[in-house]
Structure formats: structure tokens, C-alpha cells
Amino acid sequence: MSKPQQPPFPNKYNARLVAQTDAKPCTICFKPATTVLLAENNLDFFYTCVQHLLDAQFASPIPSEEYTELKKTVDNLTQKVDTLKKEVDAAKPYLWGISTYWSKDKPTETSKLSDKDKSKSNGTESENNKQKEGEKGGGTSGHKYETLKKQLNTTETELNNKQDELKNFKFKKYTLNQQVYRNRLMSHQKKKYNKERSEKIQQAGFFPSAPNHSIS
């Protein structure tokens, strides 16, 4: 069983830039273009506008190792931002007065009246102690909150920068849409046929020689 015939060039193209003075009409829209798509084995090339490379109906980029690593970095930073947001929300300082009010059992009216004089003298000292403890605890919590908040801001800035890099990444290799690739193969075959035909025409004996006898 014979093997299927391989195409003259694979559907893998390298993107190249030429100088503005060397621009030629785009194969698609015929506007001056400086981007050239060159087949890996150099048997096919054509000019195209950069905008067409963004159209999936024309070509698709081949992710490089650099692009893959950049995308992985963006994914990791996105996950880190989500985690930091939760930690920042959990570390938010709260009011000790409100916390103490709801966490302690409120005394009854009877105990308030009977112990009024006694608690009056001890109340100020107790409240002062609670305030100091609250300030101490609140200060630690506040410091942690501010630290996490700074980490979140720094990570979000880094994430935004990496997302911009990913969005504007310049791909160097492309595969053509199947219909576009078939058109390139047909164009190549046509050029090959025309070249072979031209060479045959120029060979001696291709056309019959003119008669050299006289007409009677």
C-alpha cells in the first residue's frame, strides 16, 4: 500500500517583519504590508497585515514556551489575589466595644441596683483594662490588616502588568485556516505547473519546425 503523498510544505509558518520600504500588497486586502508568513521549509511565503493574524478564520498562533510560562504566571497571580482578598477581609479590625457588649452576659436590673455603689468604684478600672486590651489586640489586628492590604495591592499591580503582556504577546509561529492553507497549496501547484510549462516551451523541438519546401 502506497503512502499518502505529503504536501510540499507543512501548515506551519514563521512570522517575519520587513522594512517599510520593502512592503508589498497584503494577500488578503492588498494594502501595503510588512509582515511575511514563511513556511518552515521556505517553499511558500506571502505578505499579510497584522490584523489578519488576529482573525481565527485566517490563522491561529502556535503558543511558545515563553507564552505558556507567562500564562501560567497570570493564573498563579490570579489565584494569589483571590486568596489575599479573603485574608484581607478576615483580618479587618472590629470595634472592641461592640464585641465586648455582645460577648458578655448583660446583668439584670436587680443586680444593677444592688451592686450600684460597688460596681461604680470598680467600673472605671475594669473599663480601662478592657480598653487597653482592646487597643493592644486591635493594634495587632490592624497591623496584619495593613500588611495584607499592601501585599494585595502589590500583587494586583503585578497581575495587571502580566495580563497586559499576555494580551499584547507577539506570536512568532502560526498555522493557517484549512481553507487558506489549501489555497496556498493550490497557488504553489499552479506556480510549479506554469514554471514547468515555460521550461518545456523553451526547449528545442517543442513546436514543430516550419516547412522549408516551396509551395507549388
Length of the chain in terms of residues written: 216
pLDDT-derived band of residue 11, with 50, 70 and 90 as boundaries? very high
Average pLDDT value for residue range 56-74? 96
The rounded Cα 146 to chain-centroid distance in angstroms is: 31
Domain check: are 84 and 125 in the same one?
yes
Domain check: are 50 and 140 in the same one?
no
Domain check: are 152 and 127 in the same one?
yes
CA angle 182, 187, 190 (to 5 degrees): 125
Of residues 31, 39, 1, 49, the one with CA closest to residue 176: 39
- Tell me what pLDDT residue 126 has: 53
Domain check: are 80 and 152 in the same one?
yes
- The pLDDT tens digits for 176-191 are 999 999 999 999 999 8
User: Which residues, in sequence order, are CB contacts of 13 under 8 Å at separation 6+?
Assistant: 37, 38, 39, 40, 59, 173, 174, 175, 176
Domain check: are 75 and 155 in the same one?
yes
Q: Bigger pLDDT: 40 or 215? A: 40
Domain check: are 41 and 106 in the same one?
no
Which pTM value belongs to this model?
A: 0.63
Domain containing residue 144: 65-167
Of residues 204, 172, 148, 161, the one with CA closest to residue 12: 172
Q: Please report where in the chains the cell 484581607 appears, as a residue.
A: 88
Q: Please report where in the chains the cell 521549509 appears, as a residue.
A: 41
Question: How many structural domains comprise the chain?
Answer: 2
Domain check: are 46 and 133 in the same one?
no
Do the beta carbons of residue 152 and residue 92 sit within 8 Å?
A: no
Count of C-beta atoms within a 10 Å radius of residue 25: 13
- The pLDDT tens digits for 24-57 are 999 999 999 999 999 999 999 999 999 999 999 9
Position 177 in a domain: yes
Q: How far apart are CA 170 and CA 75, in angstroms?
A: 19
- The pLDDT tens digits for 82-141 are 999 999 999 888 755 444 444 445 555 555 545 555 555 555 555 555 445 544 555 567
Domain check: are 32 and 93 in the same one?
no
Q: What sign does the CA torsion over 133, 134, 139, 142 have?
A: positive
Domain check: are 99 and 136 in the same one?
yes
